[in-house]
Amino acid sequence: MSVKVFIDGSSGTTGLRIADRLAARPEIELLSISAEGRKDVHERAKVINSADLAFLCLPDAASKEVMPLLRPDVKVLDTSTAFRTDPAWDYGFPELNGQKEKIQRSYRVAVPGCYASGFISIARPLVELGLAPADFPFSCTGISGYSGGGKKMIAEYESPDRPAHSKLDAPKSYGLGLAHKHLPEMQKISGLARTPAFVPVVCDYYSGMQVLVPLDLKLAGTTAEAVAEGIANYYRDGATVKVHALNETLPENGLYSNAMAGSDRMELYMTVNAAGDQMMLVSLFDNLGKGSSGAAIQCMNLMLGLDEVAGLE
């Protein structure tokens, strides 16, 4: 028996990837809507209400507009920032402590932001396990391929009119006002008492992401060994998160941000300096995989009682 699924916003980067991947799954029946119907919120709501589960791959305002029109027994996965800190919604990161069970029971799940996924994968266990205080002054840097900027940025980077030598050749930092849209979920889901200082960087490659979080061990009041053991145990049963050993030899003496491109999984690396007082924790994943469509499909599987990793790469 097939499950009826509708993707509202199937023409965007995330919606297209979800649609392509679900089309290959025989247990999923993808519902469709006419081009005219897509322009009418009430018509879209009718289709959503006929589904078992719907993905909302929409801007924040459009997600907020359609939600009041939906039946409470229709399962909804929203990929915007609209509901990620809403207490009525569950956060779609199954590997966090207790979160898998919440998602399995939920009718409303907010898919995490890509940068937020990387930061939370590190900061949440540190705070939850008492390895860093909630008021620790966390900072992080996120490096992403240009697909993270959606259709407009993809078109800019891939334009046939792009000069041979362009400013786009170089990494670009942005969000320098320290007010990135992922910060509210980064703080809330990690259990932080203060907002982390976060700077994202976009680079001239299609997809893949790494988020780097430095940790002053003396200030945190812990040791590298305690951090490494705690995080390894925290994700021991995680379906899509792999934790590498402390100071494990890095491939090519470093980490390429596109190393996980095409994967729905996440890998965590931890290094410590010779003095044993500073660590670097790195979350490596695909912004379009674990940072977007892969996370959404993983949550869908759990909400529908399917194999958690079905359809994941």
Q: How many residues does the chain have?
A: 313
Domain ranges of the chain: 3-111+292-303, 114-287
The pLDDT confidence band at residue 163, using thresholds 50, 70 and 90, is very high
Kindly list the catalytic residues: 114
The pLDDT confidence band at residue 244, using thresholds 50, 70 and 90, is very high
pLDDT digits (tens, 9 = 90+) for 128-152: 999 999 999 999 999 999 999 989 9
pLDDT at 305 over 90: yes
Region 219-243 average pLDDT: 98
Region 287-310 average pLDDT: 98
Q: Which two tokens stand for residue 244?
A: 């590498």
Maximum Cα–Cα distance across the chain:
64
Which carries the bigger pLDDT value, residue 94 or residue 38?
94
Domain with residues 3-111+292-303, CATH architecture: 3-Layer(aba) Sandwich (3.40)
* SS3 call for 65: helix
Q: What is the CATH number of domain 114-287?
A: 3.30.360.10
Q: Which residues contact 91 (CB under 8 A, 6 or more apart)?
A: 84, 99, 109, 110, 112, 185, 189
